[in-house]
Structure 1
């Protein structure tokens, strides 16, 4: 049995854990990192990286089918599954060295491979090793939530952890769950030639602005995806097949479960360390401290917004608190999110519904259509719009964009919210022409339209013209 004592012990080598470990070690803290699975966690191996690589392959295939928009003869692409999945695995392999055990040991981090469990409030065990630390960080992430559907456990269903290792593109993919993961994977596989049926128990992407979601919904259907909303899956059968209430049995070749995420807290023995948790994740305060103040939790396992960039942001909060004893708090008001469909859907800040509830008598909704942007016209990507929510005094409350490269365009609004800029800052920005970025400036400029072109303004101009 080995006894170790360090300044900081990090459990989980995903995006958040790696960021904390690298920062702490390079700042002089003795740091130990524990990982029972693969380095890089879900994002690198099963999530963000492979899903976006597969989406890119799908977009390339779809571009061949849509060439007539530019006077180019359209053709059905020949899909090479080995090449497609080779691209996905190649992207993972290219990034893996950055997240590898060797790199982190080179940074001075001690890396232990194995499952961690708390022995008491200040000690963690990994096999026969015992680690005591001044501070602990739990960064174990989340896994696919598998709903208790009768018959599901009797078929070889897919999750994001197994989806990218298939020998061939599925013939007919049945997807349970119409959130961002379900939508992205539905479109990627459809573009790669699969038949796709997407089943959502409520409404498509229910957490997003439904006016803008409708743009994505129409594109999914135009792509040939069969979409069932309000669909209660009552059973899964061999074949496989799914039975949907009011619809009947739908046969397919593969079933993908994309019905949400659950925090990875099993086996940690949190109760032995006095750490409270529930089905949503580990309970944390504004400083990301658990109910044991020596232990922090970050990223997906802490509940809330489950994004890699949130885990990275949390890492900076931990460094300030654990190393520098600064009472830094996480501010989630300016965290953007993106669904990488085609067109993309991105948002930051309050939704229109939330803004209406808080500012019903003081709210203005600014809009600009993608079809009114010259670059979008040149690229035949005119689907979509931007919606910006502001108070009557120009305070920015939130923004949502649906359209080409919405994930890039939303960053202006994330900056504006994080720095508490008013709408005038974006309206007065000089945007290069022709770019999609002009969309942001044009939407912001509509805030001033009623005043600039009012009867009062025209009167002032006429009055001043009398003086030469």
Structure 2
């Protein structure tokens, strides 16, 4: 076995691991990167990129059949599902060189295409290599969680890791799980010509603001998606015609041709032998402190495997946090208050910071909620995308959370992440000037809605204005 040493060993070449490896190497550290599967990790190969590419194909089909409102004749789209998957894989192939082994070797990173396994607190074995590192970053991400449902092992099913290789359009897709992955794939497939039933054990989009989530669910229902809530899957079996039958605990039965499991994610820690390294874990993943360090002070964990918010951009953010500590010895802590997320249905659903319910629980009577509807935005009206709203939770003049549903919600919420991250005031957001007509005006207008009662409904303001007008030369 070949002995290697390095300043930094990164285990996992997904978003977080690649960011750490590239940054550390380019700033002078000796870096080894381990990846036993595909460079780019889940996001590039099975998650963010292919799902958004498939949604783009579905959006194009939907636009063809809903063009008459713009003075263009509706046309029933002729969907080639296999060609849509060609589009998905072409997008992946276009982005792949950015995450490639060759590119990172160009940065000076030694890339080893093997899985890693700890043998003690600072040594990892990977294939024919035994690697001793001063610091180690676990960035192994997560995989689809498949619950133990009676009969599931006897029927074929898909997860996000296998769905994008399916070439034959499902006649009727059953989706177990009504979270972001399930709802995005439900809308993609209904627009591409499949029948779709979502089977959710609790409330669909249950982690989002219920008022805003209902707008998305209403849209999906209007497009033909059947959404069965409070339907806990109890048994799965085959139909006589070779399809899939899902029976819920309450006796409801759902039948379809294909089954997608989209009930959540689990941290990829099984291969790592973390006990040998003195790294503690729980059901969510590696237990880390605010600096993203494990109990073993040499070992960090970032991204999905760190047991917190499971988003690609969080992994990238975590990378920036630990770089300061590992390379420069500076204190650095990860925060969550400014982390946004978005579900890319149409309309989109986005959140940063506290929801209204969370803010009311945390701040009580100090909370103010500013709202602004899309149907007051001229660009949204021009594009006939006026369904939605934004609401901002404000405490002592500063935003503590923002919820958005509507066209480009994921774009709108980015500004509020900056505002919360920098402890900005609503007055600073109100001072911005957005080009007209744009959806981005929504952010300025909701800030204006926060100040409107203070300016237009205040007797004191009116008294001052009358006094100034009387005496102003």
Structure 1 length-normalised TM: 0.98
Q: Distance in 2 between matches of 1:209 and 1:406?
A: 14
After superposition, give the CA deviation of every residue in 1:56-82 in whole Å (9 maximum; x if it has no partner): 000111111111111211111000122
SS of residue matched to 1:132: strand
Q: How many residues align?
A: 467
Which residue matches 2:38? 38
Which residue matches 2:342? 338
Of 427, 430, 433, the match for 1:427:
430
Q: 1:148-187, aligned counterparts within 5 Å? A: 148-187=148-187
Q: Distance in 2 between matches of 1:82 and 1:203?
A: 32
After superposition, give the CA deviation of every residue in 1:321-351 in whole Å (9 maximum; x if it has no partner): 1111111111111000000000000110111
Q: Distance in 2 between matches of 1:236 and 1:205?
A: 23
SS of residue matched to 2:352: strand
Q: CA deviation at 1:455?
A: 2.3
Of 410, 416, 426, the match for 1:413:
416
Of 266, 279, 282, the match for 2:286:
282
Which residue matches 2:188? 188
Unmatched segments (≥5 aa) in structure 2: none
Which residue matches 1:438? 441
Which residue matches 1:404? 407
What RMSD over aligned residues (CA atoms) do the two structures have, in Å?
A: 0.9
Contact 2:231–2:252 (CA under 8 A) maintained in structure 1? no
Whether 1:145 aligns to 2:148 is no
Q: Structure 1 pair 248/466, CA: closer, same or farther in 2 (3 Å)?
A: closer
SS of residue matched to 1:332: coil
Q: Which deviates more, 46-55 or 315-324? A: 315-324
Q: Distance in 1 between matches of 2:323 and 2:385?
A: 42
SS of residue matched to 1:380: coil
Q: Distance in 2 between matches of 1:409 and 1:248?
A: 40
After superposition, give the CA deviation of every residue in 1:250-288 in whole Å (9 maximum; x if it has no partner): 211110000000000002100000000011110000110
Q: CA deviation at 1:150?
A: 0.4
SS of residue matched to 1:347: strand
After superposition, give the CA deviation of every residue in 1:113-162 in whole Å (9 maximum; x if it has no partner): 11210000010001231000000000000000001110111111100000
Q: Which deviates more, 136-145 or 203-212? A: 203-212
Which residue matches 1:302? 306
Q: 1:163-312, aligned counterparts within 5 Å? A: 163-238=163-238, 239-312=243-316
Q: CA deviation at 1:465?
A: 2.1
SS of residue matched to 1:5: strand
Q: CA deviation at 1:170?
A: 1.0
Q: Distance in 2 between matches of 1:105 and 1:217?
A: 46
Q: Distance in 2 between matches of 1:152 and 1:51?
A: 24
SS of residue matched to 1:33: strand
Which residue matches 1:121? 121
Q: Distance in 2 between matches of 1:157 and 1:404?
A: 32
Q: CA deviation at 1:387?
A: 0.6
Q: Distance in 2 between matches of 1:163 and 1:186?
A: 12
Unmatched segments (≥5 aa) in structure 1: none
Whether 1:385 aligns to 2:409 is no
Which residue matches 1:90? 90
Whether 1:22 aligns to 2:22 is yes
Q: CA deviation at 1:247?
A: 4.9
Q: Distance in 2 between matches of 1:23 and 1:458?
A: 56
Q: Distance in 1 between matches of 2:67 and 2:465?
A: 50
SS of residue matched to 1:160: coil
Which residue matches 1:318? 322
Q: Structure 1 pair 196/247, CA: closer, same or farther in 2 (3 Å)?
A: farther
